[in-house]
Amino acid sequence: MEGIRRWLRPAAVAPVVDEQIACRDEGALKVIDTSKSTRVESSRKRGREPTRTVVASTDGACQDWTLGNGRKRRLAAWAVHWHNAVFPDMSAVLDDEDVALHTNQRAELRAVLEAVRVASSDGGNISLTVRTDSRWVITGYEDWMPRLWKQNRWRTTNKKPVKHADLWQALDDASRGLEQVKFVFVKGHAGDKGNERADALAVAAIHRHRSDHGTYSGCT
């Protein structure tokens, strides 16, 4: 009978709780969570690519130049320099017809927008690091836009329309195509190679556009 009872006794079954495995480690019960490794493995099976980090230095430039007869024209340009040549460098004069919109701030913001657009259109899982000398852009993207402007329907705390809202909204939309957008502040005109390259590209874009039209001076 004793042999029959042993034969009928059910085998022990290890408890399983939330994808966890229990094991003994030096006499203490240790729980190992396998859910993360399971998710990583399943993502690999689905063909999900690992996140790739790309770095861009962005900058804007603004200059006044004389047209003749005392008339002046203000031009602002943006530029993006890609580190390690992951994408071709880019630069252009702002395409806004309203001269009042040709400011250094708008050019700085447009540069970041164009960098995000290119990175997000490349496909795959990309994390973009933007190196810029504009604290205004960084604070706007990290603080003002998510915490104030979007909640207030693109108005400031004083109920006034956000300046350059068209570019901020475009940047917000384009950023959704990236895993992450990270900003690094660099001091302008202080020897940072990426910043110096982006600045030179922006200034060259203005020179190309104005061709041989008079003299110019910097503006803000």
To the nearest whole percent, how much of the chain has pLDDT over 70?
73
Long-range contacts of 182-186 (CB under 8 A, 24+ apart): 182/127, 182/128, 182/129, 182/130, 183/129, 183/130, 183/131, 183/132, 183/137, 183/138, 183/141, 183/142, 184/129, 184/130, 184/131, 184/132, 185/132, 185/133, 185/135, 185/138, 186/57, 186/131, 186/132, 186/133
Amino acid in position 91: S
Domain map (residue ranges) of the chain: 2-45, 52-218
Q: What's the pLDDT at 47?
A: 56
Given a cut of 90, whether residue 76 has pLDDT beyond it is yes
Kindly report which listed range (24-28, 79-83, 120-124, 154-158) carries the lowest average pLDDT score: 24-28
Which amino acid type is present at position 142? Answer: E
- In whole angstroms, what is the distance from residue 16 CA to residue 7 CA? 25
* Residue range 52-218, CATH number: 3.30.420.10
Confidence at residue 215, expressed as pLDDT on a 0 to 100 scale: 54
Q: What pLDDT, in 10s, does the model give residues 129-178?
A: 999 999 999 999 999 999 999 999 999 999 999 999 999 999 999 999 99
Q: Across all residues in the chain, what is the average pLDDT?
A: 81
The confidence score (pLDDT) of residue 32 equals 35
Distance between CA atoms of residues 72 and 136, nearest Å: 27
The neighbouring-strand residues paired with 8 are: none
- DSSP E strands: which ranges in the chain? 20-25, 28-33, 52-68, 71-82, 90-93, 126-132, 180-185, 216-218
Structure confidence by residue, pLDDT tens digits, 41-70: 333 334 567 899 999 999 999 998 776 677
The pLDDT of residue 209 is 87
